Structure 1
Amino acid sequence: MRAGLLIGFVAAATATILLAAGAVVILDSRQQAAGVDLLSCDAGIGPSRPGQQSRGVADARALDQEQRRIVSLIIGIGEDRELSPRAWQIAIQAGMTESRLRNLNYGDRDSLGIFQMRPSMGWGTPEQVTDPPYQVNKFYDVLESVPDWQGIRPGDAAQAVERSAFPERYHRWEAMAVHLVETMGEVADPTGCGTSPAGTVVPPNPAAAEAIDFALGEQGKPYVWGATGPGSYDCSGLLLRAYEAAGVVIPRVSRDQYHSGAMLPVEQAQPGDLVFWAHDSANPETIHHVAMYLGDGRIVEAQQAGVPVHTRPISWDEPGLVPQAVRPGV
C-alpha cells in the first residue's frame, strides 16, 4: 500500500428509457421504481464469473483457522456497521491480497497488519494498524469515502483503498470472497439482485411474449454488424426491434442494454430476459454480445457474420457469460 489518499472514480449515470402507460418515462439506472431494485446489484456480492464457483470453494477450503477468524471479524464488523455484503467481499479480497488474511508484523517498508497499512502514511500508530478491529474499521472508513465504491468491480474498490502498484492482484480472490460471504456471512441472496430490498420478487415482464414472438419471427435473416432490421440484424439490433415491437424502448448498444431494466441472477432468467457476454464477465464495460432467453435452456440471437438469426441452447457456465440477466420494461 502506497498511501492513504484515494483514487477518484467517476461513475456516469446511465439513463434507461421505458415505455409506461403510453408515455416515455426516463429512469436513472440507480433509482428504484415500483418496488424493484434497478441497481446493478450494487448492494450485493459481485460481480463474479460464472464457472468459477469450484475455484472459490477450493480457495476457501485452503484457509486455516487464523484466516477464517479474520474473515469472521471482517463480516462481523461489516454487519455491525450495517455495510452491505459487497463491502465485506471487498475487504476480504484486499486482506487476502495484502497479507493472505494474516495480521502480519512486517511488510514492505513500514506496512503492517491484515491490510498492510503504513503508519508513515497516516493510517495509525504501529499498535493500531496491528490491532485487527482497528484495521477492519479503518479499511471500511476509507472504503466508504471512495466514490461509487458499490458500483465498481470489488477488486477495483479494494485498489482504491490500498493504492497498490499491482492493481490486478485483487481480482484473483473474487470467487473465494463471494463464497465466504455467502457461506460464513449467511447471505441468502448473494447477488443482491434477485429481490428488492423489501423482499419482493422481481416481477415478470409483461412485454416478454410479444418481444419473443418478434425475435423468433426474424429467424433466418442474416447477421450484419450495425444492422437494426428489417432485412438483417446484429445482436443488439435484433433485441432493440423485438422490444420496440412490444412497446418498450431500450438502448441500441448491448453494453447500454445491460442497464435497461431490473437485474437478477442469470441462472434465474425467465423468458424475455436479456443475457450478456463480455470479454471479462466480471466487468460489464466489456460486454460485446446480447441474446434473449426463451426458457427451457434456450436463447434466440443474432450471433455473428455468416450465422443467421437462430435459437440455440445456453449453458450457465459458458465462457464470458455475465452473471446478471436484465428484464427490460420492469
Structure 2
Amino acid sequence: MRKLVVAVIALAGFGGLVGLGALTALLAGSGGGQQDWGACNANLGVWGERAGGQQDAATLGEESLRIAAAIITIGEERGLPPRAAQIAIQAGKTESNLRNLNHGDRDSLGIFQMRPSMGWGTVAQVTDVEYQIHKFYDVLLEVPGWQEMRPGTAAQRVERSAYPLRYHRWEAMAAHLVSTEGDLSGLSGCENMAAGGVLAGKAMEYAHTKLGSPYVWGATGPNTFDCSGLTQQAWSAAGVTIPRVSQEQYDRGGAHVPLAEARTGDLVFWGYGRDPDSVHHVALYLGDNKVLHAPQPGESVEITELWDSGELLPHVVRPVPEDPPVTESTEPAEPTEPTEPAGTTAPEVPVGRPTATVPTAPSNVAGPGDDTPDDSDADVLPVEGGAR
C-alpha cells in the first residue's frame, strides 16, 4: 500500500507572489529536459490553487487517513488511475470528512452518504468501508468522460449533489494525498515537459503574424480575433487542437502547470477573483514577463507586459498534442482547422486591462447529507443525500 506522507514538502502557493517584480523573477527560467510524451496525463492533479493541500491533509484524523489510504489502495488494486482516487477522496471529504458515519440526511450513511432506499445497497453494505469504495468506483466508471473532467465535477456526477461546486474545495488536499510523496508536483507527468520546441515555436510564429489584427468578439481569424480565437488558431497552426473559449481552454486545453514554470507558448488566464471556474481572458506567454493577446474591442492583437489586476490565475495551461510531437528533422504536420466554427460556441466576453472584479455567488457548502432533491436527476442511478 502506498504510504500517505502528510506534511512533508512545503509548497509555495501563488499567494506568496507580490507584484510584477516577483512574477518576473519567477517566470524568468524555462529549463528542464524533454519528458516522454506518453507519460503525460494532462488531467491529473490540481486545477486551481496549490497552496493549502498539505495543510488540509494535516488536519485529517486517524480514521480519515485510514479511509483515504483504503481509497487509494482499492483504486490501485482495480488498476484505476490516480485520478479516480483523487475524485473519491474529494467526494468523501465533502460528504463525511472521510468518516464512516452511521447517520446523515434521511437515510444517508457512510463515507459517501449513500442511501439504501435509493439503490446503493443495504445498511450493512453502505457502512462497510470496502463495499462503499468499490461502489463509488463502480458508479464513477459509468460516468462518460470522467477522466477528462475536473475532479470535483466527476465527484458531483457520482454524488448528484444539489451543491455541485462544493467538491472543488478539497482538490489540492486530495491530490496531495494521492501523489506518491505527498507533493502536488509530478502527479500529471507533464510538469517537467518542454513546451514542444517546434510546436510552441509554430504557434508563436503564427501569433506574431497576427499582431495589429483588430479584436472582434467571437472572431477566430484569419484577420480578426477575440482572445481565445487567437490562442486556438495559434495552436491549430502547430497541429494541436484546443477548445474554442477561454474557460474550456483552461479546463480541457492541456496540462496545468504553475505560473512560475510558464514557458513560451503556454496559455495564461484571468478569472474573476482568481476563480478557475470564472475564466474570462486568455493570452499566450512569450517569456520575459510578456504576453501576446487580443485585448478587447477597439484594440488590436498586441504584445504587453504580464499584468495582475487581482485576477491572474496561478496556473497556466500547456497544450498537449494527442500524438508525440514531430522532431526538428521531420516535416511538421499541416495546420488543422478549428473543431468548432466561429459562432457555434458562445464567444468571449470582452475584457480590458485592468478589469473590475465581478463578485461571484458563493458556493453552498453543506454538511454531510444536507443536499435537497434535484428532480432533473431523478432518472440517474443511484440518487440522494450525499449520493442520490
Task: Indicate whether the TM-score tops 0.5.
Answer: yes
User: Where is the strand percentage greater, Structure 1 or Structure 2?
Assistant: 1
Match of 1:258 in 2: 249
Identity of aligned residues (%): 49
What is the alpha-carbon distance in structure 1 between the residues aligned to residue 92 and residue 204 of structure 2? 46
CA distance in 1, matches of 2:216, 2:122: 62
Query: Does 2:271 align with 1:270?
Result: no
Say whether residues 1:73 and 2:100 are aligned partners: no
- Residue 278 of structure 1 deviates from its aligned partner by 5.0
Q: Please name the residue that 1:8 is paired with.
A: none
**Aligned-partner Cα distance in 1 for 2:242–2:116:** 49
Matched letter for residue 132 of structure 1: V
1:115 maps to which residue?
A: 112
**Which residue number in structure 2 is paired with residue 103 of structure 1?**
100
1:282-304 per-residue CA deviation (whole Å, 9 max, x = no partner) reads 45xx6543322212343222222
- The one-letter code matched in structure 2 to 1:161 is V
Unaligned 5+ runs, structure 1: 1-34, 196-200
Structure 2 vs 1, CA of residues 243 and 173 (structure 1 numbering), >3 Å: closer, same or farther?
A: closer
Residues 323, 138 of structure 1: alpha-carbon distance in 2 compared, 3 angstrom cutoff? farther
TM-score by length of 1: 0.69
Superposed, which structure 2 residues align to 1:75-94 within 5 Å? 75-94=72-91
Match of 2:290 in 1: 298
Pairwise CA distance, 1:88: 0.8
Is the 8 Å Cα contact of residues 214 and 224 (structure 2) preserved in structure 1? yes
Aligned length: 282
Q: CA deviation at 1:101?
A: 0.8
Which residue does the alignment assign to 1:20? Answer: none
CA distance in 1: counterparts of 2:130 and 2:141, whole angstroms: 17
Q: TM-score, normalised by structure 2?
A: 0.60
Q: 1:119 to 1:215 in 2, by over 3 A?
A: closer
What CA RMSD, in Å, does the superposition of the two structures yield over aligned residues?
Answer: 3.8
Give a deviation string over 1:122-147, Cα, whole Å, max 9, x none. 22222222121221111111111111
Once the two structures are TM-superposed, the CA of residue 87 in structure 1 deviates from its matched residue by: 0.8
Structure 2: give runs of 5+ residues left out of the alignment: 1-35, 326-388
- Which of 166, 171, 174 is the matching residue for 1:174? 171
**Is residue 240–residue 320 contact of structure 2 (8 Å, CA) maintained in 1?**
no
- Determine the structure 1 residue equivalent to 2:161: 164
CA change 1:108–1:256 in 2 (3 A) is closer
Alpha carbons of structure 1 residues 215 and 189: separation in structure 2 relative to 1, 3 Å: same
In structure 2, do the counterparts of structure 1 residues 122 and 72 end up closer, same or farther at CA, with 3 Å as the change threshold? same
Letter in 2 for 1:169: R
Asked whether 1:59 is paired with 2:56, we answer yes
The answer as to whether partners of 2:235 and 2:242 remain within 8 angstroms in 1 is no
Following superposition, the deviation at residue 320 of structure 1 comes to 4.1
Which SS does the other structure have where 1:107 is aligned?
Answer: coil
Moved more, 80-89 or 181-190: 181-190
Q: Distance in 2 between matches of 1:152 and 1:228?
A: 25
